[in-house]
Structure 1
Amino acid sequence: MSDVIPSSLRPSCSSRVHTMPDNQIVAVADLARHDASVVRLWIGEGDLPTPEYIKQAAMDALKDDDTRYSYSQGLPELRQALADYHRRHWQVEVSSDRFCVTIGGMNAVTMAMQAILDEGSEVIMPTPAWPNARQMIEIVGGVNVPVAFDFHPDGNIELDLDKLFARVTERTRAVFINSPSNPTGWRMPLEDMRRLRDFCREKGLWIVADEVYNHFVYDGGGPAPSFLQICKPDDKLLVTNTFSKNWCMTGWRAGWITFPGGMDQLFARLCQYNTTGVASFIQRACIVALEEGDEFIAQQVARCQASRDVLVHGLTALDNVTVFSPEGTFYLFFKVHGLDESSLEMAKRILREAKVGVAPGSAFGPEGEDYLRICFAIDPELAKEALDRLTPFLTELAEASQDTTAYLEG
């Protein structure tokens, strides 16, 4: 962790911000952002452009001078489009006044934590986990309580709910669930979702559900179930989401949060005081994405499945690699056996020697050490190219490890 505040100013700055760790994914990406020879699989975004009809909607709105302040909670038309979208894909009725439009999914998580956490409030989070969510808990004064996934040698990942329940204390305020999960690709079974819901109801806890990757489920199994399908409008449930992944709109910075009935004024205020709302011309593009983008989502998912299959099949064939085949998201989490260096240093080495950019598992918490993450929201041909570069590198790594072991034993 590097000093981000000059020592002379540190005493008068927030200690919580000063102690934030560096983002290790960014640390790797910054080494070769402009190197065109690198296959870039580090950042969580697809390689397709935003569809033309979405861009056209924004340009039309700009031409119409739709550039003024708007409703803090979001355009009524967009919130109704969100209600229609949830009805279409999850067969659930959510009133339009239960949505608030946000500056991307990160802002949705920020406002969720601001809405429910006091100083010292604990949030239980399965880990390895998205680092941004972990840090936001601490930025607003909460305490992150990690519960490690169980990684099995056969490549399966499980979350032991009894282990999670055992971490609840009198300070626990919420359970954060990202399903399908970044970085592991784990998907929470519906029966476990119901069991967690019942437990949280009994204990008076919030569920904060990050459902960003619900459409990215493979082998015909999607979309993943939503907590909105099994919860009542007055349950303590906050669901965060974004336009970034489904419609290749990462740079547009638009998302949404779904909250219990009656909390609309609270979130309108939070939005006003955090950002004053999302640009109205971007919201017009979001409406079009929701109303016309279902076919694009399906095409993306099919494309990701093809790339996933290439990488899973190829990496599974290597003796020194355990692949956790993802049930969802567009991430592949895998373990390289016999490493004698950290996952961060290994990611840097892969970048230097194989010209493939991957994310170190330690970026997602100490439980991710010894693992690496690949984003496979890419063209299947590019996935083949990445595999062609990784295979000889990992094979040579295994041979070097065996030679070292033989030398030490001999």
Structure 2
Amino acid sequence: MKPFLRQTILDVEESRIREVANAGMGRSDVLAFWFGESDEVTPEVVRQAAIDSINQGETFYAHNLGMSELREAVSTYMSALHGPVGVERLAITSGGVNALMLAVQALVDAGDEVVAVTPVWPNLTAQALVMGANLKCVSLKPVQGQWVLDMAALLTAITPSTRLLIVNSPNNPTGWTLSREEQAMLVTHCRQTGTWILADEVYERLYYEGDTANGAAPSFLDVSAADDRLVVVHSFSKSFLMTGWRLGWLVMPAAMTQPIGKLIEFNTSCASVFTQRAGIAALQHTSEITPQVVAHLKQCRDTLVPLLQAVPGVELAPARGGMYAFFKLQGHPDSVATAKRLVVEAGLGLAPGEAFAPEAQGWLRWCFASKDLSRLTQGVDRLKAWL
């Protein structure tokens, strides 16, 4: 008898975030902070662009690589942040996660070695496993609540046998962010080993350090050449409040673009036209939308973190980027069990650290992207009362 399904698929773990969220779905008394999205709706100007597109009858297929107008807009946007990024290096995708999967499909064969920096959003490591890769993880280390990278350990792990390095910076869930110097070291090292870099930079505009001229976190695009073995993934989800629209893009060497177009055809054919119209509107109004989003998220972070730090038994440091407070709760080593108890007993929905890596057992992720700051305060009050 042939196997019912590929064993690799059967072996991939289900999302522990969803496992916890499912325990509280439909309960109006739960303050939910488990998913990585704001509770603010997409700006009206973006929504209206999609409505207008539908009303004009734009309900047909688009080019596999995306509408030329959107690719041009993305090129202008990325070039303003990182220097020239030509349209020939861009593909529009049906969300950031689709962009990541396309890159992994294009680069990874069964049996290839893939190195990933963890803790990290579980989809990033699961995608490599789905393709049958041999996954090797290099863990960040917590130091007084701040997760830091042992660069020497990472460089040692990346050898000529390593097909792909996966790195997410700013990082979900920890907020850890690579410095430009660290990125340059990785680019140089991966050139020597022939290793591709897959950089998930969807949180690059959600950056709070203020030490860059363009308001973005350091990017691999700042320290690489156009033909380097580098694929950078972006999404409209976070900095444009467009999580449900499923719209993202890839930046890659020009020689890779046409093959990616083929993969898009075999995966989704194309992103919908009205969604792409919304993306164009978002980029046209980025100077109005994104700074407001970032300023509010910084206010959210600076509201939540001190309150959590004042709770006995909580260990965390402010995130440099992203939209999460990642904290250790002493005396509660099983993060999944703790998160489920918090849902049922405290009406508080958090994501378990175990979902992001085994080394994050005992940690919890709190998405602080809340329109109403009082929800964050109420959440901390519930945590304290439960403790």
1:185 aligns with 2:181: no
Q: 2:154 aligns with which of 143, 146, 164?
A: 164
- The amino acid of 1:95's aligned partner reads G
What value does the CA root-mean-square deviation take over the aligned residues? 1.4
Distance 1:61 1:280 in 2: 8
What does residue range 238-253 of structure 1 map to in structure 2 within 5 Å?
Answer: 238-253=231-246
Q: Does structure 1 conserve the Cα–Cα contact (< 8 Å) formed by 2:120 and 2:172? A: yes
Kindly provide the amino acid, as one letter, of the partner of residue 189 in structure 1: S
Does 2:87 align with 1:96? yes
Instruction: From 62, 73, 84, give the equivalent of 1:70.
Output: 62
Alpha-carbon distance, 1:177 to partner: 1.0
Once the two structures are overlaid, the 10-residue window that deviates more, 172-181 or 384-393, is 384-393
Match of 2:127 in 1: 136
Secondary structure of 1:43's aligned partner: coil
TM-score (norm 2): 0.96
Write out aligned runs for 1:202-221 (5 A). 202-221=192-211
Q: How does 1:225-236 map to 2 (within 5 A)?
A: 225-236=218-229
1:106 paired to 2:106: no
The one of 318, 321, 338 equivalent to 1:325 is: 318
What is the aligned partner in structure 1 of residue 188 from structure 2?
198
Q: Structure 1 CA distance, aligned partners of 2:158 and 2:314?
A: 35
Deviation at 1:324, TM superposition (A): 2.9
In the alignment of these two chains, the number of paired residues is 383
Tell whether 2:387 aligns with 1:370.
no
What are the superposed Cα offsets for residues 266-301 of structure 1, whole Å, 9 maximum, x if unpaired?
111111111101011111111111111332211111
What does residue 52 of structure 1 align with?
44
**Partner deviation per Cα, 1:281-332 (whole Å, 9 max, x = no partner):** 1111111111113322111111111111122101111231111321100011
Please point out which of 334, 342, 359 is paired with 2:327: 334
Match of 1:387 among 369, 372, 380: 380
Cα distance in 2 between the residues matched to 1:128 and 1:263: 29
CA deviation after TM superposition for structure 1 residue 91, in Å = 3.9
| Structure 1 residue 11, shift from structure 2 partner | 1.9
CA contact under 8 A between 1:28 and 1:347: conserved in structure 2? Answer: yes
Residue 328 (structure 2) pairs with residue 351 (structure 1): no
Indicate the residue corresponding to 2:264 in structure 1.
Answer: 271
Corresponding letter in the other structure for 2:318: S
**AA matched with 1:183:** P
Structure 2, gaps ≥5 residues long: none
Aligned-partner Cα distance in 2 for 1:209–1:230: 13
The alpha-carbon deviation at position 391 of structure 1 amounts to 2.1
Query: How has the CA–CA distance of structure 1 residues 186 and 10 changed in structure 2, closer, same or farther, with 3 Å as cutoff?
Result: farther
Q: In the alignment, which of 133, 150, 153 is matched to residue 141 of structure 2?
A: 150
Report 1:392-407 matches (<5 A). Answer: 392-394=385-387
Matched-pair contact (CA < 8 Å) for 1:10–1:18: no
Single out whichever of 378-387 and 330-339 deviates more from structure 2.
Answer: 378-387
- Measured at CA, do residues 241 and 91 of structure 1 come closer, stay the same or move farther in structure 2, by a change above 3 Å? closer
Q: Which runs of 5+ in 1 are unaligned?
A: 1-8, 395-410
Q: What is the distance in 2 between the residues matched to 1:91 and 1:192?
A: 17
Please state if 1:21 is matched with 2:17: no
Cα displacement (A) at 1:264: 1.8
Name the larger-Rg structure: 1
Partner AA of 2:280 in structure 1: I
